[in-house]
Structure 1
Amino acid sequence: MFVTSAPALELEHVSRHFDGRAVLSDISLAIAPGKITCLLGQSGCGKSTLLRIISGVDRPEPGGRIRVAGTELVGPGRFVEPEDRRIGFMFQDYALFPHLSVAENLAFGLRHLPKAAQRARVAEVVERIGLAHLLDRYPHSLSGGEQQRVALARALAPQPAILLMDEPFSNLDQGLRERVRRETVDILRRTATTAIIVTHDPQEALSMGDMIVLMRAGRIEQVGNPFEIYDRPCSAYAAEFMGPCNRLTGIWSKGRIETPIGTFPADLDLPDGALALACIRPQALSIGPDGQGISARVMAKTFTGESEQIDIMVHPLAQTLRMHSHVRIPMGIGEKVSLQLNGAQIHVFPETPEVNGHPAADS
């Protein structure tokens, strides 16, 4: 892994069309070396296509540029082939060679090196990732988690400048997925690997990424670290994608949105009387005994173990509000309660036709 003051990866005006349809539209992005970046978005938003373009498996439209550590790989009259880019790719299904042992799989990408150098590099990767006990095994005899670790080790063995990972945990069941994800992040950080990980799971992106690139319909919706993306979403789409929200339409007046459950300030440039939208996180709501806040009624309760999900009705809203509580709520279904709010978890945006309709999944 080499050190450089330039970004590990730079994309400028990268676009891609299939059959006249824009799959990627004018993507520009800079990724710092040694960091984990998550490309996040719905299925079909373009994130896997972007990964293929970075790797060299696919080409962007003319005019797009790609640089790695300051060296141009794609630009006017220039296209560096995938095998010459020093970019590793870890596939969703791991793509281990079934007829090769773990040791032979690890050495596969090192065939250009002398045998002694191959053995030394394999030994180094094995020690770092802890695979010594698996070297003589074959892929069919490995668990899902073991296959994932071998695939990661094989991708790291050639010492790529950047490692691309396409939904690397999607084939694992929930309990194993969390453990393997933690192990993978630990390995990437210990090896100071610049990694770009595609995922559709916001919780996965928040737990792994130093930077999150939220994509929507072939464009970048927002870029930021996990706290920025979650705490300061740039749009209602970003707010709702990163976690559940209650949506309330209100009237903008004197720097605040007025809603049936309260008024909330926001930094928006809207004329008084315009419609605005408040996205309220479930954890922003709490309830207490009737008479100590906004009058409401409990309509449903769902116990999930760590928390309780409670649906409450507030007049004159047509829909219930959902809240999450880590404290046991003694009030039963049908009982009157008082709603209280924590304004820190309320995000306000201009109300537009695009925001007002819930966007369908990008195709």
Structure 2
Amino acid sequence: MSDDESYALRLTNVSRRFGSRDVLSNVTLSVPAGKITCLLGESGCGKSTLLRLISGVDRPDRGMIEMAGVEIAGPSRFVEPEDRKIGFMFQDFALFPHLDVTDNLSFGLRALSRSEQDVRVTDVVERIGIEHLADRFPHSLSGGEQQRVALARALAPEPDILLMDEPFSNLDQGLRERVRKETVDTLRKIETTAIMVTHDPQEALAVGDLIVLMRNGAIEQIGSPFDIYDRPASPYAAEFMGPCNRLTGIWSEGAISTPIGRFHADLDIPDGSMAMACIRPQALTLGPDGDGISARIIGKTFMGESEQIDISVHPLAEPLRVHHHERIAMAVGEKVGLRLNGAQVHVFADFNPLSQS
């Protein structure tokens, strides 16, 4: 397989500016063929703008976009959206209310003969498993059924790349997880190259083969779900993927010293420098007072499958947060013992605040 064949899409130093604001700054990204890539980040970080540039409804100010090694947007060429073989699945499904499911699927196939349209619609209906919906109108479909029809319509023209902008956000939680799994299973089965925008890190971890974490119009980190979660490249990446307890300390002899322990890491900073440890709530365990570091429970929140417990530890100014899957009988105000359970602690030279501001 050649390099161009292994990547369906390449972006090189892509930038977009609206007025005086840089919405995207020098974004370079390779999207693997036949995989699901998730663009993840907070609102306003540039992920939807990036999707618009890829689809062709907007143009980059600088940089180049290539599909299968062919330039589709850049200094020497711009390919119109209808000529890019890129499908788009909208957040609100955007089904035509006056057309039944079959006619909705046929709408984007008007360049084909009627017989070719029929073959294509029959094929995609069978692949998505919506034969029983073929004669129905959108108003008579549930949210999950509308989502499957929208997916079928996006796939009917046989696009080389499918773009999805927050495709499950309009569904209720229980339905969202089921429909998301069905959609992802379908995309993997037919080996579709898909790029999905989401602001939800848990969704990105569940769906993406590759996650592109964005921040302020730039890429913060690119990697597999395990890379992003287990090996965050920055304090921002660590906290965005899940809550963290942040502890600053002095770096010495390859480790940071904190009030709850000394944590080793591979950092190239001089001894005596300040560093920061990010400790996830599930990395901490509570036991009886005397078993571990002395702490006191100052708050408890029952979350169903787990319990969130806030504890104070001398001399820390801020409380630590612990997630326990076992019920803790101790009440607010009681003293407990705090231990680390061996889960990974992330250590960074940068200990600035983790917000975007």
Give the conservation status (yes or no) of the 8 Å contact 1:6–1:70: no
Shift in Å at residue 22 of structure 1?
0.3
Question: Is 1:52 the counterpart of 2:33 in the alignment?
Answer: no
- The structure-2 alpha-carbon separation of the partners of 1:4 and 1:251, relative to structure 1 and needing over 3 Å to count, comes to closer
The offset of 1:345, in angstroms, is 2.7
Q: Which aligned pairs between 1:63-78 and structure 2 lie closer than 5 A?
A: 64-78=63-77
1:108–1:357: structure 2 CA closer, same or farther, 3 Å change rule?
closer
TM-score scaled by length of structure 2? 0.97
What is residue 8 of structure 1 aligned with on the other side?
8
Which stretches of structure 1, 4 residues or more, deviate above 3 A after TM superposition?
none
* Whole-angstrom distance in 1 between the partners of 2:331 and 2:318: 19
Unaligned runs of 5+ in 1: none
Q: Which residue of 1 aligns with 2:353?
A: 356
Task: Please tell me the residue identity of whatever aligns with 2:72.
Answer: L
Q: Where in structure 2 are the equivalents of 1:255-266 lying within 5 Å?
A: 255-266=254-265
Aligned-pair identity in percent equals: 71
Question: How many residues get paired?
Answer: 355
User: Are the equivalent residues in 2 in contact too, given 1:283–1:345 (CA < 8 A)?
Assistant: no
Instruction: State the Cα distance separating 1:357 from its structure 2 match.
Output: 5.7
Partner of 2:131: 132
Check conservation: 2:216, 2:356, Cα contact below 8 A: no
Classify the secondary structure of the residue corresponding to 1:309.
strand
Within 5 A, what are the aligned runs for 1:77-226? 77-226=76-225
> How many Å separate the matches in 1 of 2:350 and 2:116?
61
Contact 2:37 2:212 in 1 (8 A): yes
**Structure 2, unaligned runs of 5 or more:** none
Match for residue 37 of structure 1? 37
Q: How far off is 1:141 after superposition? A: 1.3
Give 1:153 shift: 0.4
Q: Deviations over 1:139-179 (max 9, x none)?
A: 11111111111000000000000000000011111111111
SS at 1:92's partner residue?
coil
2-side partners of 1:238 and 1:357: how far apart?
9
Opposite residue 25 of structure 2, the aligned amino acid is S
Counterpart-to-counterpart distance in 1, 2:198 and 2:353 = 26
Once the 2 structures are TM-superposed, how far is the Cα of residue 342 of structure 1 from its aligned partner?
Answer: 3.2
Q: Deviations over 1:312-339 (max 9, x none)?
A: 1101111111011111112221111110
Instruction: Give the letter aligned to residue 26 of structure 1.
Output: N
Q: Deviations over 1:121-151 (max 9, x none)?
A: 1001111111111111111111111111100
Contact 2:239 2:354 in 1 (8 A): no
Following the alignment from structure 2 to structure 1, what is the Cα–Cα distance between the partners of residues 66 and 353? 39
Counterpart CA distance in 1 for 2:201 and 2:41 is: 8
Q: List per-residue Cα deviations over 1:273-326 (Å, max 9, x = no partner).
A: 111111110000001111111001111111111111111110111111101111
RMSD over aligned CA atoms reads 1.3
